[in-house]
Each structure stands twice: as C-alpha cells, then as structure tokens.
Structure 1
C-alpha cells in the first residue's frame, strides 16, 4: 500500500507546478487516508493517475482477502454511517438527534436484524485460521511444502489455472477439485514414492479469492469478491446485512442452480449452531427471500421483538424465542390480538393452553403482574428502615417499632402514629391512632395484612442552619467541606424552584432585572394551577411532616365519603403546635386529636376550649352546637374524662386571656442605652424613650426615623401597585407616541425608572415629632408594636440639595438662608427642572412645599418655610415633558424619599 501511495504522489509531483510542490509532500497521514479508502475508490483513483493496482505487489485481488493483519484492523461502523472522501466516518449526531433516534428505537424491530447493525464497510474474513479438511483447493491457492529427513527443503507451490502444482524434482501434479485432506495425502504419497527417506508436511499458504453473488433482500445485493474461506454469513456481512423485509430463517445457498442448503439464523443466534453455515465456492449464490409470517411479542418478556415464523410454532415456542417471560410477567393471562377474516379477535391464554398455534400477524403481550404485594405491611415516614415487611398472624407494631432508638429516626414523633387499614369489601380506609410512648407488650396491637404504618416527624418546617450537637463532631476541614456540600445543595434547590417559576431571578448586581424578568421567570416545567399550589404548599415542609404525609390520606378519606358513610375528618385550630385537618381515627377523643396536632402550645388556656359540631335533627335539618370543655381535664393521664369526636368536628383551643408573645423593638443611634427592648402591650414611644435613658447631648429629636413592619409591608404593596400602573402607562405611551414628537425622555429611561421602583427597598417610615412626644405636647402618643425601630440621628450641620440642579451636593447650614440660595449654591436649576414643584424633606421625614399650605404627603401648614439643619431640598424633573406620564412625578418622589431614609438608617 505504501508503494502505491508513493507512486501516486510521484505522479502528482510530475504534473504539478513547482510552486505547489511542497504542498504535496508525502506524509504518513496521506498514506493512512488512502489506505482507508474502499478498494473501488482506490482503483478509480489509481486509474485516473494511470497506475495499475494489479501490477503492484501486495495489491492484487487476493491481497485484500488474504492479508490477515490488515483485515484484523477493519473497523465496524453502524449501518447508515456517512463517510467523507477519505473514508473517515463523519461527525456523530448531536445529543438531540441521538435522543430522537433512541425514541424511534423504542419501536419493536425484527429479531436478529441488529446482527448486521454494525456491519463493516469493507469486510473479509481473517485468513490466519486453520484450513478445514474439506476445503476445496483451487487456482491461485498456495501450498507450503516442507521436506525433512534425508533431505530438508521448503517450497511454496502455486496452483495454476490448470489445477496443477509444479513440485521440484517431480514435475507437475494435478490436485484440482481435491479437498485439502485429499491433496495432503496424495502429494505425500507421490513425494515419498519418488524421493525415498523423506517426510512430508503440507500446509496452506495464501488462499485464492472467489466471486459470489448475494441476491434478494440483501442490504446491498450484488457480486462480491470474498476469501475462499468465506461462509454464508460472511457473504451476508460483506453485502451489508439484510433489508428491513428480509427473511432470517430461510436464507438459501444455491450452487449451479441447485439448492444446497437453507440457513436459519435463529439457530445461530439462539444456540450458536453453525453446522449449516457452509463454505462458499466460486459462483455460489446466497439468496435472501422476503419474510413471510411474523408475530409481535411485547410486554414482560426478556426480548420484546418481531419474530419470524417457519410454520407450526406454538405460543410456547414463540415465548422461548423471546427468552421467556420475566419474573414479573403474568403468564396466566397472555393477550393475543389476531386477525381473522378481516376482523380483529382478542384471545386470552393461560399456561395450560400455551400449546396454541400462533398465526401470522398475531400480537402477543405478556402483561405485568399486579403491583399489589400480598401478605405484607408497609412502614412509612420517620423510621430507620422504611419499606415493606412480611406479614404473619403474630406480627405486632411493638415487634416492628418497639426499639425507638434503633427502629425510629431521632426526629420521629412517638405520640402520633397512624395505622391505615383497608376494609375487605369496598377498600375503604380505616384509621387507627397509636401512641408509642403508651404502648407496651401487654397492650400490644396486632397488625393485619396490608396495613400501612405512618410515623411522622416532630419537625414540620425546614429551617436553614439547623445544627445538632452530633453534627459538630468533626475536624475543622471536614466541617468546612460539609458546609460547602450544604450550600451546593441549597444552590441546586434554588435552581429547581427557579425552573418551575416559583422564585424571582436576580441579575449579577443582586437587583431585579425587569428587562429579563418576564422571560426568566417563566417556568421551564409547565405547572397547572393546582400543581403550583401544591408545590408551594409543600415547598418548605420536611419530608415526613404532617402536612406532606397526611395529604394523600385526607384526599382518600374525602373521596370515600358518601351517603351513610360520613367523612372521617376533624379539624383543630387555635393554640396547638400544628393546627389543621386530621383523619378521624376509630374511637378518637379530643385528647387523641391534640396529640395528633403536636400538643398544646404554651399560650393555650387550660380552663376553657370548645368543640363546634354539626348534627342532624330529627326533622332532617342541620344544627350547629358548641360543646365547652377544659383541656387539662381531657388530657389527664387517667383518661377518665374522655370526650369522643365525630365527623367534621372542629376543636378550638383558646389562648390564655391577655397572652402575648414576646414583643420587641429596636432603638439605635444617639440614646443613652441603645439596643433591643421587650415591651408590653399598650406601651408608648414616650415610655420607651424614658427606658433608654433619653437622648444623648448629640442626639437631635428633630432628626429621627421611626419604622414599623406593618407600614413596611403596606409600602411594598403600594410600590408594586405603582409599578404596575407605571408599566401600563409606559406600554401605552410606547404604542401611541410618534417618533421624536413631543418626547424628551426616552423609553429606556422610563424603563430604568420602573426598574428602580420595583427594586426599591421599602422602609415603612412613620413621620413623628419626637420633641413634642418627649415634652408631652403631642396630641397622640405612638403606641408601640412588635418590630418597631427608632433611629436617633446625630445633630447635623448640613443641608442637602438633590435633583435637577447642576451640582447636587451638601452645604454647610447657615441660619436664615432660604432654600433658593442653597439651590443657587448648587449651580441653579437645570433646563428640565420643575421649579414650582420644589419641595423640602425635613430631617424627621415630613415634606414641606414652599408657598403651598395644603401640603404634599406629610407637608407642614406654613407659608414661610425656613430651612433647618438636616433638611433635603429636592428639585424634581419636569414630568410635563413626557407624554401624559402622570405617574412619573409620584415615582421619582417616592424614590427620593426612600433613598434619603435608607441612607440615614445605614449611616447609624
């Protein structure tokens, strides 16, 4: 092969101009590329170059079939692989195409067709295998003759076209049409008779090639040159295999017009029987007829496929071809769809009638056995080994969950365990409630077959950063690694919730990017409204929480309720740890329901609670009654005061009168004792100022910020509403306006304002006059609420000027100076400034508008406004320059107000 490439390249050099000579330098890569070309392309390329391949040693017709080393390097590619001009396979399909092909491959295929799925593009059987004794010697075969004894010599004898070999000292000897064993014996006898005292060893050398025909339903029917050692299957491979409609059980070998053998590939595939895979002879025809009768076998079998029939096979025979039924296959009801006289007939066959003869077109399906596991019980929830267990008559809940340390998780709630039991007639669900802390061997509860045991967790909600003492028993390096794994899990969880569109998407700066919000907040996984509500409901609950585990139980109990079978649900509200709807267990009492709800909270009132019950009167109408009880009595350990529950009862556990959770407020800045304070209900801001020791000598009572959580939440809602309204106006104006007509502010600037507004942080500021409150002159003192915060700023000596001025900055306060003079010190008004709407934000948050005694927002009622230290003068943008953007002013003023408050709080 190297010699051929060298000659071709020399030819190219002779006919190529000198200036491109270097581009044709012979390389190992070029030789390798030419070697990979199919023989037909090599011959065509050589013919164009005027080179005769048959005259180059090593490239004769027989070389490709006899060169064992090169044949071993043949590479197999999947059928349909595309090749480039050098014979190299093209790039593989991308993942999406592979996925589509995999989906298409799920359809059943003709069994055995995959045998040729990776048929090589050029195939020849290896020649370095022992020659069989029945091999027929023909022209061009080479015999290796070794003589030893009296005379030692080795001769390579070529069989001529006349069937003779020229043996030194003996002359021509005819061995044509003899088998290898016959030729070996014949030559040995002839040589020993002519040359006494020598022993003869005869082996085959290079074998001749021959031409055979592969016809019928071959993938590429035609005439092929193959090795003389080729069999029927070799001919199938060299032709690329069989077509989609080819028969694999009736492949015929014809010689001189006579049928020699019929090959059934199923015998080769299933049992490895090659007795009928005969050696080919020159001129043989391998004929592949069209497949005639087939059946489809699907379902729970080892090899679902389409199988070819030879005739007379039974259902049992076909199932053996398919490898037999899987362990979960139900052979008692094999489904057969059959076509008879133009009609489709359904047959169901059991194991006793599997000798039924199958017919062409039958569709056989082995169904799957029922998922129901007989004679078992299930353990679900916060247990060490959840799953199914074998049931027997003496199996009790104590034997399964008796060792709480070994059998249960640390988070398991021992006081509330449910046993779900189905009635035998209508599969209705009955609920039994068990308290493992009160269960001993003498009170053991026997389980019934198919019971389900539910063990709940004491923890309902997941809290990031929950740490157990045992979790700290590692080295610092191990703890750091565990922290990384924890945060990695949180990131993956965040990405999941984002994929279903349940969280907002933030940009790199941590701000919400409104320009991408609509696209990025769309869920990758489309959820229905019901699915979305369910996902949100369970998002933060633990896996074994009551909310999550009781959901399917409650749904089942609602479903089975009907006339005469009241719904087995009760409700508990008020001061219990986990209020909500619970299954009504057999003989359930109020005590059982309180245990189910996790017990009472510390705020529960032990002297009074009530049950609200709906009952049917004698006349058939519904009546609501209220039953009072004392929780401490129904929870007594002796159980003497049992109060039984009925369907749809609602238990309300009252709170202790005047009970309050811990209410806290925060005081920061220039006070004597800043910090967090616990308050009582009704305590006022004046009381708080006394408790913190009053203001320091540097504290400014006219420069305070008071924030409230309820106001902050209301402010968030207002910002969202204003943003929605502004978004509508922006969209409306963008459609209405004409290009360049009457619009000074661009659409992008309006969008930027909208982004700033939607991402602004709500403050929840309440404007107060702390001076009057301290002095007791305020008409209304501020009653404190949980979460309130008071920020007392240091006395300031500056006045801020912001907005549409040339140099927004701060100025040193000068007594008696007007706001106009401060604006002049900042360079004066800019061209787009709205002079008449200039306003002053006081240090305490109040807003004053010069010359307007009606006020704006929290404006002061005075005509002559004086500037005080800490005030901020705001020169707004003239929104009249924007087409009908009436909300522009409000939006910008809100942003100014929020920015000033946040900056003041952040400076403390």
Structure 2
C-alpha cells in the first residue's frame, strides 16, 4: 500500500510539473520534462497568450526553449500545436456555429465551407436544386453521440478520464502511427478499430496500472473530443477536386460540397470507390422520390466519388406536377417516369401521352396509350408532352328560364324533358307552358332549335316529352318576358319627380304618395298628357297626344276624385302663379346698420336699401361704393358653349372659365352715390338681385402704387398732383415695368388706363383710395444678326430696283 501511495504522489507531481511548465513557459528554468503530447488545448492556448504578452512568435521562442532543456522534437510538436490552435481560433471567430457546437458538446472538428453558385443552366434537371441550396448541406452534427462503429485514425483526439478513488483526465491525440500515449500506461494502438473496441482496450490497459480501476473503485470513460479530417476526391462534379472533410461526413455531404453532378453528370449511377474498388452505387433519385438515405454512407480516408456521364435523359412537359428533365435507367418504364414527375396534375389528358422521339436521321411522333404506361421503355432524348383535357363536357345538360333551379345538370341516356324539369324543382307560376325551346348541338357541331309543347310534355305525352341529348340547352319562357315594361312620368311640384313603373289600377293619388307628395308651391292645376292609340291614321285630327286637365286640392295629397292612370302618361303638377320665398342682399362698410336685408319689391334699388340701412356714416367714401354680384353657373355655361374658333392646344377658354370659377367668383358694379342722391333714376341706382353685396368703403386719403415699381407703397393723397407724381414717389418703374400701359383702379371698382395720341400721353386722374398698377413688359424676341443682314439685303435690293426704274 505504501508503494502505491508513492507512485500516486510521483504521478501527481509529474502532472503538476507539466502544468507549471505549460502555464509559465517563459519563466520556467527547466523544460526537459515537458511533454507536448500531454498538454491540453487550454494549456497550448495559455502558452500562446504568454507569447503574445511578450510580443514573441513561437519561432522566436525556439532558442530560449532549447536552452532550458527542451528537445528539438518536443519543440516541433509544440510549434505545430500552437499554430494549430491559432488556426482553430481564427475559425472560431469566423464561424459562430462552430463555437456553439464546441460549447454544447465539447467536441471540435474542422468547418468545411464551400460557396454555392446557382446553376441556372441545369435548373430543369430533376435533382439539381438539391445541390444549389446553401441551407441543405448534409453536414454531420457534432452534438450527436459518437457512433459506436466509428473507426479511429490519426488526427482523432480522445478524452480519457479516470474518476473515483483515483483521478486522471487528459485529451490524447491519435498519432500518425495510430497510437495514443497514456502516462504510466504507455502506448496503445487504436487506429483502424471502432471507438467501442478502443474503449475496451484502453480500460484493460489502464486497469493494469491503476489498481482501483481493476477493483472497481475507479471508473474509466473514453470519448471522442476531436474529430479528424479526411481527404477525399470527387470526379465529375460541378466543382471537382480534393476535399478535406470531417471523418463523420457522408456521400451526400461531399456531393453537396462539389455542387452535385456536372452538366452531363449522372444522378442515378454515382460510384463510391474505396481501395480501388466500387464500394457503393449511389442513386440520388431514391432519396428525392422516396426519402431513402440508404445510399448516404459514411466516407473514409482517400475515398473517391466518381460521377460518370448520364446514359439517357428524357424531358417531360405539360400537365404534370413536376415537369423537367429526368435521367432514366434502361429497365425503367414510362410509369416510373410519371412517378419521378409526381404524376399527372388535375388538368392532364391521361388517355394517351404524345412523345417526340429522335431517330438517327430525323424526328418522329409516337402516342403512348394509357394501357402502355407500364410497358413503354423511354429512349434517350424523348420529349413527353402531356396535354390538357378538352374544354367540353361528356354528360352536361342545361336548363334556364322560368324554373325554380336553373343550372347545369348531369345527362343520362333516355332522359326526357319532364325528367330535367323535375330535377330543376319544377316550373314557376309565370312559366309560359305552350312552348319551350331546345338549342341542340348536332354531330357536325352546328346548332339547331327544337320547339316543344311544354304543357303536353308535362302531362305525359311522349311525343312532346322528347328525349334529350348531351349539351342540350332547354329554355322555359316566362309570360313576363312578353310584356312591355310600362312607365309613367311625373314632373313639376312634387318631392321626387321622375319616371316610375306602371301597375294595373295605378291612380294619381297612388303616384303622388309614391313620389313623396306635393310641394308647398303646388297649384291646383294638373295636366296629364296621354298617348293616342289607333289602328288607322286620321289626317283630320292634328293632335299628337290627348291632354287631360284636372284640378286638385293643392294642400292635400289624397284627392276626392281619384284619376286612373294609363301606361306612358306624363303628369305635370303646375306651380302657383305667385310663390316666391323672401330673398336677401347684404350691405357692409360705412353704413349705420350693416347686415342682410330682404328685397321688399321686385325692383328694389341701391338707394332704398342704403336708406333702410340708416344711410352712410360720416367716414363713408362717396366715390367708393360698389356692388359685388356672384357669377352664376349659367353665365359660365354660356361662355363654355361659345365657339371661339381656337386651336385644340389653345387653353384660353379653359383658363377663362377656371378664373371665373376659382378666382373671381364676383362681378363688380361701380356706383356713383352723389349722382344717385341727386337723381333716383340715374343708371347707378341699379336694381338689386338676390345675393348681391353692397360695399361702402371707408374714406382713405392714401394712394397705393403696386406692380413693377421699385417700392410698393401707399402715398398720401395730394390734391392736384398728377399720375406721374405718385409713380415717381415710389422710385419709378423697375427694369421690367411698362409705364405707358399703367392703369388706375378707383375705390368703386372702375378702372382707367393711360392714353396716348401721337407723341402726347394722357394719364388718368388720381383720387383718394385709388390704386395705381404698373404692369410688366411682355417678352420680345430680339432679332439676330442674320435677320438684320436679311432685312438690309432686302432694302438694298429695293433701292437698286427703284434707281433702275427712274433711269
């Protein structure tokens, strides 16, 4: 027992020395006992961090390590391990999934990445989409438990643990010789055997050294901590070459990395070659059609996946669920091809399929009947075309018209008219039973009409109850179809005038109630115009219609004497001779009582309304009175109806009507109050219309100057000063101002323009509260040099002509 304790103490001391050396490579004075194979990845990572902290590379640390007793062979291992960890760390940073897998399972493996390129040229080949999808890569899951039949090899790393009374834990790589080295146990050959067999072998070897393992006081566990990378070769793929992949990878994973079969590659006869022999024939269609992954076997070192060219391909077009290009084996039938294409769709014509075949010289067409689907052998290059079913029915029949359920029904041999009527729930009450019509499709696809006595057919007469045929269309007439649609018209003083349906026994009272009754302006006079019907022309009677005049009680919708109406009567309820609602005008501004006033008589004048408003106030401007009269829609309509003989592109009329509607809205009528007061019959004392607005301006001593002047301003009025004085008072006109076309707007809405005669110019008179406007000059196109030269040439020619004439 004492010897065992000494051995254990020595073992832990040796381990501790390894750990100290690993943790303090730079400060340790003796590295002769350091064994790189016993260092874990975390120890290597710590050494790498020490080198980074000292700004050293592993190559620069070699002289120092050798001087401290480390052998060259051990340093070479250390250098390889440090570089390997460096690459591994880069892979971890570039791929978060690998990091996640390591955290979850504690197992690492090299990440294989291959960018997918969409193969649009072979998109129609069945199965090509399997290898274009970057999310479908068949990559093995490192989180899964290690398969017990997994065969170990160089590059794998085992996690060996002893726990219980004695403890030991180490990550041990499988050397290139296929062996692992366990401290105090020695070397154990594990290459080429399954992990299950290797576990038993390791346990037996450790039990020889650790007595507690042999006695059962300690347990041993062996797991795969790092999966080796194997090299395989892919020939015939879209991206052929040598690939380094996980030892857990399968055939489909490798095919996906290579982009699948090439342009002419086979999907049905892929060969997995192992030790120079065909180990497995892979048919991808088994996976695509049935989901069978029996061909998806694991790969081994130096395996070769050979993708030969296809033997025969065929094309399926038209009404199948999965049209495309399919690879066929020689023994497969057309029924197998339909299975690959997922069968016919719901619109396919399945009685036969047309196939376009290629002979040695030309094309030929062949029809495959439904009975031959299971026997026909497709040939390379065949193009199968599945067409649509015909847009016709084999057993359809139709009934429409005066039946309770008009619709399409199924046709049975021997069906008669009475049978179809019964299916349609019988005829309606308005059915015209003396005649029914059948539109029948003849054998040459032309149509004919067959008339039957419907009443006789329904009574059981077989001569009338004829047999129907496929695609017959039976029409049962309604007596309502033969009646003219009668109307009556009512207009005038009713709530809702218009045209209304006529019914038998319709009276004037009924119609008045239907239209909402009479209005308050309805008079007692009613005029009814009635059409004249006669089989003979009476030239002596000039009347076109018959007029009926009635008197009603205007304030009562129900008349004592009710009048019976006839079809197409036109009723007109007249308006009362005198019936006008009070209408108003508005007065605003400098009057005593501004507001709205009712027009008291038909010729209410401006003077009367102003007087009713209390007259003008002391601040009223006698020269600033005007009427704003709304522009009515009738006036705009008149302008739109006038033909101005303009071109199609001229927008003058459109602009004018838009300005009247949206901008002006009012017409201004100037007033001269001083003359109205003197003479009530003066033309300024105009008669007012409803909605007119009288504006009385407040006296203002300023004169506004606007437009193209240097300063828009209001200048105090000075008696006797001219038009030019006020323009000069604001700095004159600007560069665009057109002074000779300046005009003035007076307070009452009148306007006056500048006049000219020869070289003399007369400007309008200025009064207080006026507004002077200087417009902008129109743009003129300057004559070019060529135009001046042309004019000069013309003048010169004329001068020469005149001189010549007078010689």
Q: TM-score, normalised by structure 2?
A: 0.52
**Equivalent of residue 250 in structure 2, options 223, 231, 236:** 231
Structure 2: distance between partners of 1:214 and 1:207: 21
Aligned-partner SS, 2:226? coil
Distance 1:366 1:271, change over 3 A: farther
Matched-pair contact (CA < 8 Å) for 1:610–1:652: yes
Equivalent residue number for residue 301 of structure 2 = 282
Candidates 850, 862, 871, aligned match of 2:770: 871
Q: Residue in 2 aligned with 1:841?
A: 745
Task: Provide the rounded CA distance (Å) in 1 between the counterparts of 2:710 and 2:383.
Answer: 90
CA positional deviation for 1:229: 0.7
- 1:56 corresponds to: 83
d(CA) in 2 for partners of 1:356 and 1:668? Answer: 104
Please tell me the root mean square deviation across aligned C-alpha atoms, in Å: 7.1
Structure 2 residue aligned with 1:215: 235
The one-character-per-residue Cα deviations of 1:330-380 (angstroms, maximum 9, x if unpaired) are 679999886456889999999x9999989764466899999xxx9999xxx
> Hey, which of these two has a bigger chunk of helix by percent?
1
Paired with 1:695 and 1:711, the residues of 2 have a C-alpha distance of 29
The alignment of Structure 1 onto Structure 2 pairs a total of residues equal to 588
Q: Equivalent of 2:280, from 250, 253, 261?
A: 261
Matched, 1:768 2:688: no
Kept in 2: contact 1:573–1:653 (CA 8 A):
yes
Contact 1:62 1:209 in 2 (8 A): no
1:5-32 residue CA offsets vs partner (Å, 9 max, x unmatched): 98799699x99xxxxxxxxxxxxxxxxx
2:581 pairs with 1:669: no
Q: CA deviation at 1:280?
A: 0.5
CA distance in structure 2 between the aligned counterparts of 1:367 and 1:668, rounded to whole angstroms: 84
* 1:296/1:823 CA distance change after superposition, 3 Å: same
Structure 1 residues 659-668 or 609-618, which shifts more? 609-618
Residue 209 (structure 1) shift: 1.4
Cα deviation for residue 138 of structure 1 reads 2.4
1:751-777 Cα offsets, whole Å, 9 max, x none, are xxx9xx999932533333253566432
Give distance in 2, aligned partners of 1:5 and 1:586.
110
CA distance in 1 between counterparts of 2:562 and 2:268 reads 81
Structure-2 change in CA distance of 1:8 and 1:841 (3 Å): same
1:131 and 2:146 matched: yes
User: Cα distance, 1:843 vs. partner?
Assistant: 1.8
* Residue of structure 1 in register with 2:223 after alignment: 203
1:108-147 aligned at under 5 Å gives the runs 113-117=128-132, 119=134, 125-145=140-160
- Decide whether aligned partners of structure 1 residues 240 and 769 sit closer, same or farther in structure 2, where only a CA change above 3 A counts: same
Q: Does structure 2 conserve the Cα–Cα contact (< 8 Å) formed by 1:71 and 1:126?
A: no
SS at match of 1:235: helix
1:790 to 684, 694, 701: 694
1:708 is aligned to 629
Q: Tell me the TM-score normalized by structure 1.
A: 0.47
Equivalent positions of 1:456-855 (< 5 A) are: 641=564, 644=567, 656=575, 665-676=585-596, 684-686=604-606, 688-689=609-610, 692-710=613-631, 761-762=663-664, 764-771=666-673, 772=675, 775-779=679-683, 782=686, 784-785=688-689, 787-803=691-707, 808-823=712-727, 825-826=729-730, 836-849=740-753
* In structure 1, C-alpha distance between the alignment counterparts of 2:264 and 2:505, rounded to whole Å: 70
What CA distance in whole angstroms lies between the structure 1 residues aligned with 2:369 and 2:737?
A: 91
1:675–1:69 Cα change, 3 Å: same
What are the ranges of 5 or more consecutive residues in structure 2 without an aligned counterpart? 1-43, 61-77, 103-110, 393-398, 407-422, 426-435, 440-480, 538-542, 784-807
Structure 1 residue 841, shift from structure 2 partner: 2.3
The alpha carbon displacement at 1:831 in A equals: 7.6
- CA, structure 1 residues 843+636, in 2 after alignment: closer, same or farther (shift >3 Å)? same
Match of 1:445 in 2: none
1:233-288: CA deviation from partner (whole Å, max 9, x where unpaired)? 22134335566776656554333454433445565567654332110011222344
For the residue of structure 2 that corresponds to 1:224, the secondary structure is: strand
Q: 1:653, 1:344 → 2: CA distance?
A: 83
- Distance in 1, matches of 2:562 and 2:292, equals 80
User: Structure 1 pair 696/156, CA: closer, same or farther in 2 (3 Å)?
Assistant: closer
- The 1:60/1:815 distance shift into structure 2, 3 A limit, reads closer
Q: Contact conserved, 1:68 with 1:128, CA < 8 A, in 2?
A: no
Contact between 1:571 and 1:581, CA under 8 Å: does it hold in 2? yes
Maintained 8 Å contact 1:300/1:367? no
Residue 179 (1) aligns with residue 83 (2): no
Is the contact between residue 231 and residue 278 of structure 1 (CA under 8 Å) also seen in structure 2? Answer: yes
- By how many angstroms is 1:223 displaced? 0.9
Give the greater-gyration-radius structure (CA): 2
Instruction: Work out the CA distance in 2 between the residues paired with 1:678 and 1:690.
Output: 13
Distance in 1 between residues matched to 2:505 and 2:307, nearest whole Å: 77
